[in-house]
Chains A and B, each alone.
Chain A
C-alpha cells in the first residue's frame, strides 16, 4: 500500500478546516480577500502550488522558514532543465502533503534508497509553499561566463546589489544561482521539502548555503497580528498586504516587460545579525527612539494605536521607522522575513537576528532605495548584514505540465 501523507487527512476535511482557520483572524476585509485568494494559507492545509503568481509571496506568512541557495554544478542546459522539471514534480507533491517521489518513503524496493526521506510522514501539508528564484550568476558567472546560453535573457533589474555602508557580508553564505524559499507552519515540513529538493538535485546543483527561520517577522495580510522581532518590537505594521492589489501591482509584481518575468517578482535576502546583548543593555526609551515605535503597543512614537498613521515629524529623525517608512523612502516593498538563532558565537553571544526577505518589482527602486535611505539609521549600531542575495522569481505555474523556469529555459 502506498502510504501517502495525504491519507492521514481527508481532502474534503482540509477545505473546511481552512475556512475556519482563515475566519479566526480579524478584519472583514482581510477575511473576504483571503477567502478569495487561492494562495491563502490554511494553517495545516495545503496552499495551491500553481497560479498567476508563485505561492509564498503574498501567501499569509507561515511561521517557519527554510531558505536555501544552490550553485549549479553542471554546465549542461538539458541536465539543468530535467532537474527543474523533477523539482517541480516533487514540489507539487510536497505542497499537497504527499511524499516527494511517486513511490514514497516506505513503499519502494527495499534495496533502493526511498524517493522520499520520510520525516514528514504523518504531518499535514502545513501550508507549505515553495518559491523559486534565479540569481544573477545563473545567467552569467562572476567571471562573465554564460554557461547556459541565458545571458541575453538576464533582466536588467537582476544585478548584484550595490555595497552598503556597514556591510559585513560573507561570500560563502551570500548569492547563489538558484534559491528556494520553503515556508510552512511546521518546521519539519519546511526542512523536509528543502532536504528532498537538495537530494534530487545532487549532481546538478550543490547547496551553497541555507538558513532556518522561525517566528515570521511580517504580516502579509491584514488579518494577521503583527509579530515581534528579536528586538522585541512589532515588525511589519505598515508592510504591503495581499489585500492591497493595486499596491502589489505597483510595487511587487513585474508587469508590462513582455519578458519571462511578467507576473514574477524580485527577491532580496539579507541575513541581518542583531547585536542582541548590546541591544538588551539599552534603556527602554533609547530602544523606542531607535525604532520609532513604542515597544508595548507598536504605535508610532507620539500615538497610541499601532495602526495610527506615521507622523514623520513626530519621530526621532534617525529612527528606523522614520527612515524606512514608505512615506520617507518614497517606495514600498513586501517584507517576508523571519527571526533566526543559529546558536551562539565563540564569545558567548547569540548568533541571532532577522533573516530579511522582501519582494519587489525592481530591486533598484525597492530594497536598494530603502536601504540607501537607512544610511543614518540609529538601528545600524545594533545590526550587521552578514549575507546578501538577489533573485528573480518567475511567475506562477500555469498548469500541471508547467515547470519551474519554463519561461526562461523552455
Chain B
C-alpha cells in the first residue's frame, strides 16, 4: 500500500446506480443490471477450449452462460478493440456455470476464456451488426466510468469469494491450501487497489506491511497472515482472518456507492504502475511468500482495465497514444509472462538482477505512456 497523491473519489460524479441507468455494460455479479437479454448464449469452457454458441450477434443486450468443465478456475471476457473489457465473469470454479449480461453496440469483438486466470486466453472473434452509436465526448467519458465501475464491482465480488476461501483455509489450519490461495485472493485486491485506497482507512487494514504500521497500532490484513503462513504458525491467526473478512466485506459495501470521475481512472491506472515500481519490482510487498509477481500481474491487469475503459476517449483525441499504450501494455505483459509458472508465477527470489532490470525497464516505458493519459482525459 502507499499514500495516494490525489483522492480517487472526487465529488460530483454520477453514482454507480445512475451510471448503470445511462446504458453501457451491466454486470451479472450485481444481480440484475440494466435491460434484459432476449437470448442466452452458451459458452463451453474447458482447460483447453472455449466454445461460444455464436460468432454473430445483433446489437443489444446479450446473456452469456459460461459452464466450466475444466479442472482449473476460469474467467470469461468479451473484449472490444484494444482489449477493452465490455463484460467479464471472474472466478468460475470447475463444474460451475455463471452468466454474464453485456450490452454490445455494433462492432468487432473477441470473447476469451482464461483457464487458470492467466494469459491472453482462448479467443474467438465475435461480430455485432446493427446501429453503432456515436457518443459525444462527455458520453464517451461517462461510458468509460461505467465500464470501469463495473470492472471494480466484479473484482470486489471475486475478492469476497476468494478471501472467504483463503480465510477458511487459514482457520482450518490448512497451511498448504492457504498458501496456494493467498496470491489468488490478493490478485482481486491488487487489481483495484486505488479504489480501496480511496476509502482511506480500509487499505491499511487490509494491505499494510509490518513497517507501515504506526507504533501502538494493531497490524491487520493479508500480510499478517502471510507472515504466519510462511514464517510463523496459524495458532493466533483466527481473529486476523475474521477481521480480513469483515474489512473486505466493508470494502464491497462501500464500492456499491463508488463515485468515480474519468480522471480517477487515468490517475488510478498510473497509480497501479507506480505501485509495481515502488514495491513489487523490489520484492518488498510479499517479503515472506515472495509471490510479488502475482501482485505485479494484478496491478498490471487493473491498470490496463482502467486504460482500456478510457481507450475510446484516448483513441479519438490521440490515436498515436492509444496505439503506444496497446503496445506498451503488451510488451510489459510479455516481459512478465516469461516468469509464468503453472497458474501463477515463479517466486520473486528466483529472478536474476538482469531479469528484474528487464521488468523495470519495461514498466518504466509503460508508465511513461500511461502518464500521458490524464491530460488527454482532462481535455
Contact = CB atoms under 8 A, between A and B. Distances in A.
Interface of A: 73, 109-113, 172, 199, 202-204, 206
Given A172-B353, A203-B328, 13 more contacts: A109-B378, A111-B263, A111-B375, A111-B377, A112-B374, A172-B354, A202-B361, A203-B365, A203-B366, A203-B368, A203-B369, A204-B365, A206-B360
B157 interface: no
B23 to A, nearest CB: 27
Contacts of A109: 375, 378
A110 B124 CA distance: 42
Given A172-B353, A203-B364, A206-B361, A113 B371 contact: yes
Contacts of B378: 109-111
A283 to B, nearest CB: 42
Nearest to B263: A111
Contacts of A204: 365
Contact of B375 (A112, A199, A202, A203): A112
A101 to B, nearest CB: 13
A60 to B, nearest CB: 35
Contacts, number: 37
6 contacts: A110-B378, A111-B378, A112-B371, A203-B365, A203-B369, A206-B361
B177 interface: no
Contacts of B366: 203
Nearest to B365: A203
A113 B353 CA distance: 29
Nearest to B378: A111
A73 B374 CA distance: 26
B357 interface: yes
A80 to B, nearest CB: 13
B351 to A, nearest CB: 14
Contacts of B278: none
B372 interface: yes
Nearest to A205: B361
Contacts of A203: 328, 364-366, 368-369
A206 B361 CA distance: 6
A206 B365 CA distance: 9
Interface string B336-375: 0000000000000000011001101110111111011011
A172 B352 CA distance: 12
Nearest to B328: A203
B375 A73 contact: no
Nearest to B364: A202
B354 to A, nearest CB: 8
Given A73-B361, A111-B263, A172-B353, A202 B368 contact: yes
Residue of B353, B368, B377 contacting most chain A CB atoms (<10 Å): B368
Contact of A73 (B353, B365, B368, B372): B365
Residue of A172, A199, A203 contacting most chain B CB atoms (<10 Å): A203
Contacts of A113: 371-372
A36 B108 CA distance: 67
Contacts of B375: 109, 111-112
A83 to B, nearest CB: 11
| Chain A to chain B: the 4 pairs with minimum beta-carbon distance, closest first | A203-B365, A206-B361, A112-B375, A111-B378
A113 B263 CA distance: 14
Contacts of A112: 371-372, 374-375
Nearest to B375: A112
A206 B363 CA distance: 11
Nearest to B374: A111
A206 B374 contact: no
A110 B5 CA distance: 14
Contacts of A110: 378
A202 B365 contact: yes
Given A109-B378, A111-B378, A172-B353, A206 B372 contact: no
A206 B364 contact: yes
Interface in B253-273: 263
A112 B362 CA distance: 21
Nearest to B369: A203
A252 B170 CA distance: 70
Nearest to A109: B375
A206 B277 CA distance: 14
B121 to A, nearest CB: 26
Nearest to A74: B365
A294 to B, nearest CB: 45
B188 to A, nearest CB: 29
A113 to B, nearest CB: 5
A322 B357 CA distance: 43
A87 to B, nearest CB: 14
Contacts of B360: 206
A182 B369 CA distance: 26
Contacts of A199: 368
B363 to A, nearest CB: 9
Contacts of A202: 361, 364-365, 367-368
Interface string B67-82: 0000000000000000
A110 B267 CA distance: 13
A112 B366 CA distance: 15
Contacts of A172: 353-354
A110 to B, nearest CB: 8
A286 B166 CA distance: 69
Contacts of B354: 172
A269 B372 CA distance: 36
A291 B220 CA distance: 62
A113 B378 CA distance: 13
A73 B366 CA distance: 13
Nearest to B354: A172
Contacts of A206: 357, 360-361, 364
Contacts of A73: 358, 361-362, 365
Nearest to B335: A73
A201 to B, nearest CB: 9
Nearest to A200: B368
Nearest to B267: A111
Contacts of B263: 111
A143 B336 CA distance: 23
Nearest to B357: A206
B80 to A, nearest CB: 25
A208 to B, nearest CB: 8
B72 to A, nearest CB: 34
Contacts of B374: 111-112
A145 to B, nearest CB: 16
